[in-house]
Chain A
Amino acid sequence: MIKLDKVSKKFGNGGIALSEVTLSIDRGEFVFFVGRTGSGKTTLFRLLIREFFPSEGSIIVGDFDLGNLPNYKIPHLRRKVGVVFQNLKLLSDRTIFENIVLPLEVSGFKDRDAHKRTEEIMQELGLSEHRDKFPIQLSGGELQRAAIARALVLSPEILLADEPTGNLDPKTGEEILDLLMDINKKGTTVIMATHNDVMVNKFAKRVISLEKGKIIKDQKKGKYEIS
């Protein structure tokens, strides 16, 4: 499903975000990317949706070879990969419904179908009562749910969640993680970046540990082992 071969990313200022990262993730897996702030987790996510090219190496996501992907095909890739961004990136001047329906609109769904699917996913994630509220009116957990709903509305094959529990209290964080587990059980490949050791250790899932842009551990049923 996802293959990275000796992927490095250097930025213009000389900083090395990733260095010779090689990994493979199968369809339907749940993977934690763990590491300190600046270890390269977010850069990896950004490479997976072709926000930029790697400096070296090759990346394959599903049927897309990102190194040879023409610009006009990037939207097609991004419709297959749902992303819960670290800072959520919800539009503050649109209601929760309008935010969640957006991926369907940009993909050219008819209004009727788009609205039906949005209502469905909102109900599934317990957001129906917040339909017409603006992001500023919601709590952190609710906002996180809204961001997940938006990432899932197109039924993507892959879900990337960048620190989805980062600013939440432990109980709400746990709820969000349970939700991601449920999504994974339904067949979606979920990759979650986090530095929350309690959450990672609670589930016996694959854990890939990053440090200074390099993979230092890749365990099938791993633990959070960053000092």
Chain B
Amino acid sequence: MRFLNTTLRHIRRSPYQAFAAILIMTVTFVAISLFTFLILGSSRVISYFESKPQVTAFFKDTAKQENIRALEDQLRASGKVSKMHFVSKNEALKIYRQQNKNDPLLLDLVTADILPASLEISTYKIEDLASVYSMIKQSSFVQEVIFQKDVVSSLTSWTNSLRKIGIALVVVLSIVSVFIMITIIGIRISQKKDEIEIVRLLGASGWYIRWPFIFEGILYGVIGAFFAWIISSAILLYETPFLESFLKGIPILPVSYIFLLEVLGAELVLAILLGVFASFIAVLRYLK
């Protein structure tokens, strides 16, 4: 408590330095939060696509039940298919109605006749998709084949790039924050040189002198991370309606408050580590 009081007195007496330290920590943690949301969100989108049928064959209206069954048998015999699901014209209409239940105009215009029956197929291995795709393509009863591999792989490559950019940006910002904090705490130590000398002569131990500066680093980190969490959570919650319509059908939004609290917890731990690291370096460097 005594150390915390000393820390608060330091901050009160030079508020602009404290403001600069908190600001840089806030910027760093806003970047960390937003990239965390983006990376976790895109991973969930990929998982969603991966869990969906990877190849969908849409049949011509002329295709009969036995033709479809023959194709199913042929695919099953290949040993590559893990799951198959036949969607009839009526089921397709149900799905269509469910997806467009808020748009009566679209519902009025569509009947089961104009929707094709389809077969949704998943393979054990992603590399078998190509051979399954060509097997289906050869069938004369198939109108069109949708192949999800491209969607998943391009999403995966986007996410990987995003992750790399995010990690690089966060690392650079963290390094900058640490250097700024070292400088600010170093300035504080220099300003308090006489006071430090006096308390030393009065019998203060090394840790009695160091703790307030280490608390200061922790405090900057924690306050910065907390502000950043408020800002980034507010952005996410504000943009949720837009993102929900953009990611139509992919159930990742709205995010739960528990998830946001988990992010806050992780960020506070990281902030404390960064704060302790920066202030410890400053104390080692300037308090010999």
Please give the residue numbers on chain A whose beta carbons come within 8 Å of chain B beta carbons, in ascending order: 49, 51, 71-72, 75-79, 83, 85, 89, 91, 93, 102-103, 105-107, 111, 150, 154
The A interface is mostly helix, strand or loop, or mixed, namely helix
**CB-CB nearest in chain B for A83:** B201
Interface bracket on B:
10 to 19
A107 to B203, CA, bound (A): 7
B187 close to chain A: CB less than 8 A: no
Contact indicator A106/B203 (Cβ below 8 Å)? yes
Given contacts A91-B195, A105-B2, contact A150 B202 (CB under 8 A): yes
Residues of B contacting A78 in the complex (Cβ-Cβ under 8 angstroms) = 201-203
B237 close to chain A: CB less than 8 A: no
Contact indicator B201/A102 (Cβ below 8 Å)? no
A217 to B202, CA, bound (A): 31
Residues of A contacting B197 in the complex (Cβ-Cβ under 8 angstroms) = 89
A77 to B2, CA, bound (A): 23
Contact indicator A89/B204 (Cβ below 8 Å)? no
A83 to B206, CA, bound (A): 19
Contact indicator B195/A103 (Cβ below 8 Å)? no
Per-residue contact bits, chain B 177-202, to A (CB 8 Å; 1 contact, 0 not):
00000000000000000010111011
CB proximity of A86 to chain B, nearest CB, Å: 12
B205 close to chain A: CB less than 8 A: yes
A48 to B154, CA, bound (A): 75
Contact indicator B202/A106 (Cβ below 8 Å)? yes
Residues of A contacting B13 in the complex (Cβ-Cβ under 8 angstroms) = 93
| Interface-central residue, B195, B205, B206, B208, by most chain A CB under 10 Å | B205
A71 to B206, CA, bound (A): 9
Residues of A contacting B2 in the complex (Cβ-Cβ under 8 angstroms) = 105, 111
CB proximity of A53 to chain B, nearest CB, Å: 16
Residues of A contacting B195 in the complex (Cβ-Cβ under 8 angstroms) = 91
Contact indicator A75/B198 (Cβ below 8 Å)? no
Residues of A contacting B202 in the complex (Cβ-Cβ under 8 angstroms) = 78, 102-103, 106, 150
Contact indicator A49/B198 (Cβ below 8 Å)? no
Residues of B contacting A51 in the complex (Cβ-Cβ under 8 angstroms) = 201
**CB-CB nearest in chain B for A76:** B203
**CB-CB nearest in chain A for B197:** A89
Q: A77-B203, A78-B201, A78-B202 are in contact. List 17 more A-B contacts (CB 8 A).
A: A49-B201, A72-B205, A72-B206, A75-B203, A76-B203, A83-B201, A89-B198, A89-B201, A91-B195, A91-B198, A93-B13, A103-B202, A103-B203, A106-B199, A106-B202, A106-B204, A154-B203
Residues of A contacting B208 in the complex (Cβ-Cβ under 8 angstroms) = 106
Per-residue contact bits, chain B 201-232, to A (CB 8 Å; 1 contact, 0 not):
11111101000000000000000000000000
Contact indicator B205/A85 (Cβ below 8 Å)? no
Contact indicator A75/B205 (Cβ below 8 Å)? yes
**CB-CB nearest in chain B for A102:** B202
Residues of B contacting A150 in the complex (Cβ-Cβ under 8 angstroms) = 202
A103 to B198, CA, bound (A): 10
Residues of A contacting B199 in the complex (Cβ-Cβ under 8 angstroms) = 102, 106
A77 to B205, CA, bound (A): 11
A79 to B204, CA, bound (A): 9
A75 to B201, CA, bound (A): 8
**CB-CB nearest in chain B for A85:** B201
Pairs of residues from A and B, 4 with the lowest C-beta to C-beta distance, nearest first:
A78-B203, A106-B204, A79-B203, A75-B203
Q: Can you list 11 A-B pairs, Cβ within 8 angstroms, ordered by A? A: A72-B206, A75-B205, A78-B202, A89-B197, A89-B198, A89-B201, A93-B13, A102-B199, A106-B202, A111-B2, A154-B203
A83 to B200, CA, bound (A): 12
CB proximity of A147 to chain B, nearest CB, Å: 11
Per-residue contact bits, chain B 243-274, to A (CB 8 Å; 1 contact, 0 not):
00000000000000000000000000000000
| Interface-central residue, A71, A76, A103, by most chain B CB under 10 Å | A103
CB proximity of B13 to chain A, nearest CB, Å: 8
Residues of A contacting B201 in the complex (Cβ-Cβ under 8 angstroms) = 49, 51, 78, 83, 85, 89
Residues of B contacting A102 in the complex (Cβ-Cβ under 8 angstroms) = 199, 202
A106 to B198, CA, bound (A): 11
A85 to B201, CA, bound (A): 10
CB proximity of A7 to chain B, nearest CB, Å: 20
Residues of B contacting A79 in the complex (Cβ-Cβ under 8 angstroms) = 203
Residues of A contacting B205 in the complex (Cβ-Cβ under 8 angstroms) = 72, 75, 106
CB proximity of A95 to chain B, nearest CB, Å: 13
Residues of B contacting A85 in the complex (Cβ-Cβ under 8 angstroms) = 201
**CB-CB nearest in chain B for A78:** B203
**CB-CB nearest in chain B for A151:** B202
**CB-CB nearest in chain A for B6:** A105
**CB-CB nearest in chain A for B209:** A106
Residues of B contacting A77 in the complex (Cβ-Cβ under 8 angstroms) = 203
